[in-house]
Chain A
Amino acid sequence: MRALSSDSEDYPRALLDLRDPPHPLWLEGDAGVLSRRAVSIVGTRRMTPYGARVARELATAFASAGIVVVSGLAQGIDSAAHEGALEAGGISVAVVGAGLEAFLADSRGRRGALAQRIRDSGALVSEFPPDAPARTWTFAKRDATIAALGEITIVVEAPAGSGALITADEAHRLGRTVYAVPGPLGARTSVGTNTLIAEGRARAITSVPMVLDAMGASATTLRVDRDPIGARILEALAPAPADPDALARRLGLRPAQLTTEVARLVVSGEVVCGADGRLARR
C-alpha cells in the first residue's frame, strides 16, 4: 500500500480540480493507471437486470477502447461496471468509501474476489487512512472523488437520493459532462436519472457508440452475422430478462424453434440462463 501525496509525481492531476483534493491518496496496485483517460460509471446498489446489463455493456465498450473504468466497488451497478471492464480485458479503478485495509477485511466472497482482480490490473484507491471504517459521510466524499477521476460521468440507474447523484452533481460542478441512462417512467430505480435529464444536468444516453464518440473513441464491437431469429431474441431481451414461454409467445415462435436458437445464443455467451431459470442478455 502506498500513500500518494498531492505533490507526488504519480498523484492524478484530475483530483486537483476538487475543492478539497484527497491528501494523501492511499493506493493498492498500479499508480500509473490513475493518469490514463478514464470514465466514471456509477449507479444504485438495488439495480434492475436492465441496469446490470447496460452498466456491463458500457464498461465493456469503454474498456475495449482502452479507457479506464472508474467506480465505487459497491454492490449493484458499481460491481457490474467493474466486472464488465475486467471481462473485456480492460483496466478498472475502484474508489472505496473506507480505509483500504478496513474495506478489504470486510469484503469477502464475490466482492472480495472482484477487489483482488481490480488490484491485479488496475488500482484500489481510498482517501481515508487504511483502518478508517465506512461512514455515511465517507461515501459522500468518495462519490465526489469518483466524479473527478473520470473525464465524463455516467449514471446508469439511480433512485431519488442515491449516492450516484452526488457523483453527478460533483461532475457537473467540475464541468465534466454527465450522462444518464433514461429509464421507464414509474420505475423507482430511474427517478434520479430521469430527473437529471429533465433538469438539463445530464445528457440522455441513446446508444453505447454515442457515449464512446463523446470521448473520441469508437466502438470496436465485432458485428457477428446473425440469423434474423437470433437478432429478434436479443432485441426482445434488451429491456428485461424473460422466461422462455413469454419470449416464445412474444416472438410467435414454436417452443422447439425458440430453444434451439436460444441455446445457440447461450453457447455463444450473448444470453445467459440465470440462476432463477430466466433468460437474460449479457
Chain B
Amino acid sequence: MCARRTRGHAIAIAIAAADRPETARSVARVTACALWGLETALVTVEVDVANGLPAFVVVGLPDAAVQEARERVRAAIRNSGYEFPLRRVTVNLAPAERRKEGTGFDLAIALGILRASGQLAVDVAALCLGELALDGALRPVRGAMPRVRHAVARGVSEILVARANAGEGAACGIAAFGFVSLRETVDHLEGRVRVASAEVPTRAPEPTPAVDLCDIAGQETPKRALEIAAAGGHNLLLVGPPGTGKTMLARALPSLLPPLDDDEAIAASAIHSVAGLADPDHPVLAAPPFRAPHHTASHLALVGGGSPPRPGEVSLAHFGVLFLDEVAEFSPSVLDTLREPLEERAITISRAGTAATYPARFVLIAAMNPCPCGRFGDQAAECRCLPDAIERYRGRVSGPLLDRIDLRAHVPRVPYERLREERREASVAVRVRVHAARERMRDRLRGTGRRLNADLTVAEVRRFCRVDEDTDKLLADAVRARRLSVRGFHRVLRVARTAADLSFRDEIATEDVALALLLRGE
C-alpha cells in the first residue's frame, strides 16, 4: 500500500513538470578538452535536464575529480544567483570510452546546465575550461596551453577560461576571454558585459643569468667543456673538490644558451602548463629552462609520475638544462631512471588505465666530489679516503649513466694569483659562438627533426664527421689499444664535430678529436 502511494506521487510530479515550457527540456552541448599527460582530445559535454526525481549524474568515465564537479557546480550555480534545476540532470562527457581527469570540466558543465534549463539564452560555441569555486568564482586549471593548442588545431575560434589562464590561451593564437566568475561568463555570453579578449602575452623577459662566465677565474678546460655542452647538447660531468666552482660553472650554462625559438618555447611551456608552473603574465618561456632538483629527489620527482601522471624534472627541463649537483648523493635507483630519457629523449609513464609520454630533451650537467671527503687531488688539503672508499663513492654513479655522459672535466682549486686575473671572456662572447655553431648544426640536420650534434645518428656521424688521415690514425690507435669502444668512438666524433663547429671549421682537425678524447675520461 505504501509503495503504491509513492508511485502515485511521482506521477503527479511528472504531470506538473509537463506544464513547463518546451525549451527547458532540450539537450545542451558545450565543448571542453580532456588532457592525459600532453595528449589532448576535445570533449563534448552534453547536458540533459529531464523530468524525474531530482538527481545529478555524470557519465562518460569521469574520474573522482570530475565526479566531485557535481558538488562544485551545484553550489556555484546557486551562489551565482541562478537556480539549480530540481529535476533529473544528466551530464555525458563524449567520447565516453576514455577516462576524464581533473577539474577543467566544471565551467562547461555549469554552462551546459544553465543552457539546458533555459537560464542561458545563447548556445556556447567556445571551448570552456575552468574550475568553479563554491561561490561561483572561476579558477585556473593546469595544462590550459596544450588543450587550447589542440582546440585551435581542431578549428575552435575562441575560448572561455579563468582570467589567470587567459594569457596561456592567447599565446596559442586564439581569442581568449578570461573571467573571474561564472556570473561574469554568462553576462559576457548574453552580451550584457563585454570582456575584451586577452592580449597575446609578451615572452617573459630573459632573466639575467645568475652567473656569468667572467665571474669565474681560471678553469679554461671546464669552461671549454661547458661551451661544447651548450653548443652540441652533450652531457657533462664536473668533478672537483668542494668550493672550486662546479656549481657556479653549471649555473653559468644558461647564459651561454641561445633563447628558445618559437616551436621550442611553446613545446617547453606546454609542459610547464601541465605541471601547473606557468606564470599567468608570461606563460611562454623565453629562456631555456634550468632545473636543479635536490639530491633527495625521488624518482617520481625526477622522471614524473603519480596518477594522473605529472611531468618530472627531466620533462620540465625539456629544451633546457637538468643540473644534478652532488650527483653521487642521489639514490642510485633514482639515477638509473634517467637512462630512458637520456636515450629516448622522452619518458613514458604508465599507470593503471593511463599512460603519458612527456618529451625530455635536455642537457645533463652533473657535478660531484672526487671522493667522499672531497679533497682527493686538491693541492691545498690532504685526502684521507681509502682507495676502496673512493671507488665505492664513484661507483654510486653507475656505468650505464656515465656511458651517456660525453664530457668530463676536472674543476681544480684555482690559486689566489689567478683569482685576481682580469682578462676573462664574458658569456656574451661565448654565446655568439654557441649560436653560430648551432646554426651550422641546424643546417646540417635540416628536415630530420633533430638539431644538435649530440643527436647525430651513426649514419650521420659517418657522413658529417670525416677526419683526415693523421687524425684517423690517432682514432684507429685508440680503438686498437682498446682505449675506445665502438660506442665511445662515435661519441668522440660527435663531440669533435661540435668543437670544430665552434671554431667555424668544416673539417674536423686533430685537435678537435684530441680534445674530445681528453674530455671523455675513462
Binding site for B on A (CB under 8 A): 45-47, 49, 75-76, 79, 109-111, 188, 241, 243-246, 248, 255-256, 259-260, 262-264, 266-269, 272-279
- Collect the chain A residues with CB atoms within 8 Å of residue B519's CB: 277
B518 CB within 8 Å of chain A: yes
**B218 cross-chain contacts in A, Cβ below 8 A:** 245
Q: Is B16 interfacial (CB 8 A cutoff)?
A: no
Chain A residues within an 8 Å CB radius of B510: 260
Task: Return the chain B residue nearest A186 by Cβ.
Answer: B382
B312 at the A interface (CB under 8 A) = no
Structural contact, A46 and B518, CB atoms closer than 8 A: no
Given the known inter-chain contacts A243-B221, A267-B478, please indicate yes or no for A262 contacting B239, CB distance below 8 A.
Answer: no
Whether B370 pairs with A276 at a CB distance below 8 angstroms is yes
Check if B17 is an interface residue, CB within 8 A of chain A: no
Q: Is A276's CB under 8 angstroms from B481's CB?
A: no
Shortest beta-carbon distance from A224 to chain B in Å:
13
| A243, B519: Cα distance in complex, Å | 11
Contact flags B485-522 to A (C-beta < 8 A → 1, else 0): 00000000000000000000000001101110111111
Q: In the complex the two chains form, is A274's CB within 8 Å of B521's CB?
A: yes
Which residue of A has the minimal Cβ distance to B412?
A243
| B residues 116-142 touching A (CB-CB < 8 Å) | none
With A and B bound together, what is the CA distance between A244 and B518 in angstroms?
A: 9
Smallest CB gap from B514: residue in A:
A263
| 19 further A-B pairs in the complex, CB-CB below 8 A; given A243-B412, A276-B377 | A46-B386, A76-B387, A79-B387, A109-B391, A245-B219, A246-B412, A255-B220, A262-B518, A264-B514, A266-B483, A266-B518, A267-B478, A273-B518, A274-B410, A274-B521, A275-B394, A276-B240, A278-B412, A279-B518
Closest to B384 in A: A46
A277–B408 alpha-carbon span in the complex (Å) = 6
Interface presence of B376 (CB below 8 A): yes
Instruction: Let me know if B409 is at the binding interface, CB within 8 A.
Output: yes
Contact A266 B412 (CB under 8 A): no
Asked if residues A272 and B522 are in contact (CB atoms below 8 Å), the reply is yes
Task: Report the bound CA distance from A46 to B518 in whole Å.
Answer: 27
Are B388 and A260 touching (Cβ within 8 A)?
Answer: no
Give A232 Cβ to nearest chain B Cβ, in Å: 17
Which residues of chain B (414-460) have a CB below 8 Å from chain A?
none
- A263 nearest CB neighbor, chain B only: B514
Find chain B residues with CB under 8 A from A274 CB. Answer: 410, 521-522
B74 to chain A, nearest CB (A): 64
| Cross-chain contact A275 with B520 (CB below 8 angstroms) | no
- A79 partner residues in chain B, CB cutoff 8 A: 387
In the bound complex, residues from chain B placing their C-beta under 8 Å from that of A46 are: 384-387
User: Which residues of chain B in 368-411 are interfacial with respect to chain A, using CB atoms and an 8 Å cutoff?
Assistant: 370, 376-377, 382, 384-388, 391, 394, 408-411
B392 to chain A, nearest CB (A): 8
Cα–Cα, bound, A276→B408 (Å):
8
Q: How far is the CB of A47 from chain B (nearest CB, A)?
A: 7
**CB atoms of B477 and A273 under 8 A apart:** no
Interface residues of B, Cβ cutoff 8 Å to A: 218-221, 224, 237, 239-240, 370, 376-377, 382, 384-388, 391, 394, 408-412, 474, 477-478, 481, 483, 510-511, 513-515, 517-522
A198–chain B nearest beta-carbon distance, Å: 22
Closest to B389 in A: A75
Cβ distance B430 to chain A, nearest Cβ, rounded Å: 15
Chain A nearest CB from B88 CB (Å) reads 71
Find B474's partner among A75, A264, A278 (CB 8 Å cutoff): A264
Q: Is the CB of A263 within 8 A of B518?
A: yes
In the bound complex, do residue A273 and residue B520 qualify as a contact, i.e. CB atoms below 8 Å apart? yes
Cβ B239 vs Cβ A263 within 8 A: no
Contact call A241/B394, Cβ cutoff below 8 A = no
**What chain B residues lie within 8 Å of A262 (beta carbons)?**
514, 518
- In the complex the two chains form, is A259's CB within 8 Å of B514's CB? yes
User: Could you say which of B377, B387, B388, B477 contacts A241, with CB atoms under 8 Å apart?
Assistant: B377
CA of A256 to CA of B512 in the docked complex: distance in angstroms?
A: 8
Kindly state the separation between the CA atoms of A188 and B409 in the bound complex, as whole angstroms: 28
Of the candidates B237, B410, B481, B513, which one forms a contact with A269 in the assembled complex, judged by CB atoms under 8 Å apart?
Answer: B481
5 CB-based A-B contacts, threshold 8 Å: A47-B387, A75-B388, A244-B410, A259-B511, A268-B481
A263 near B410: Cβ-Cβ < 8 Å: no
Q: Report B-chain residues with C-beta under 8 Å of the C-beta of A278.
A: 377, 410, 412
Assess whether A245 is in contact with B518, with CB atoms less than 8 Å apart. Answer: no
Q: Please name the residue on chain B nearest to A244 by beta carbon.
A: B221
B103: min CB distance to chain A, Å: 50
From residue A269, how far is it (CB to closest CB) to chain B in Å? 6
A75 to chain B, nearest CB (A): 5
Across the two chains, which residue of chain A brings its CB closest to B520?
A273
| Inter-chain contact B518/A259, CB cutoff 8 Å | yes
Min CB gap A158→B, angstroms: 15
Q: In the complex, which residues of chain A have a beta carbon less than 8 angstroms from the beta carbon of B474?
A: 263-264, 267
Contacts of B511 in A (CB 8 A): 256, 259-260
Pair A277/B409 contact, Cβ less than 8 Å: yes
Q: Which residue of B lies closest to A247 (CB)?
A: B221
Q: Which residue of A lies closest to B409 (CB)?
A: A277
How far does the alpha carbon of A246 sit from the alpha carbon of B384 in the complex, in Å?
23
A80–B3 alpha-carbon span in the complex (Å): 95
Q: Which residues of chain A are near B219, meaning CB under 8 Å?
A: 245
A75, A243, A246: the one contacting B386 at CB < 8 Å is A75
Collect the chain A residues with CB atoms within 8 Å of residue B408's CB: 273, 275, 277
User: In the assembled complex, which residues on chain B have CB atoms less than 8 Å from the CB atom of A255?
Assistant: 220-221, 224
Give, as a whole number of angstroms, the nearest-CB distance from A82 to chain B. Answer: 13
Bound together, the chains give a CA A175 to CA B116 distance in angstroms of 109
Inter-subunit contact B376/A276 (CB<8 Å): yes
Does A277 lie within 8 Å of B410, measured CB to CB? yes
Smallest CB separation, B407 vs chain A (Å): 9
Rounded to whole Å, the gap between the CB of B58 and the closest CB of chain A is: 59
Separation of A147 and B510 alpha carbons in the complex (Å): 50
Question: Which residues of the other chain, A, contact B376 by a CB distance below 8 angstroms?
Answer: 276
Q: Is the CB of A267 within 8 A of B481?
A: yes
Complex Cα spacing A170 to B237, Å = 47
A276 to B374, CA, bound (A): 11
Please report the C-alpha to C-alpha distance between residue A188 and residue B518 in the assembled complex, in whole angstroms: 31
Measured between beta carbons, the chain A residues less than 8 angstroms from B478 are 266-267
Instruction: Check A188 against B477 for contact (C-beta < 8 Å).
Output: no
Assembly CA distance A275 to B514 (angstroms): 17
Task: Give the 9 A-B residue pairs with the shortest CB-CB distance, closest first.
Answer: A277-B410, A263-B514, A276-B370, A260-B514, A276-B239, A256-B511, A259-B514, A267-B478, A243-B412
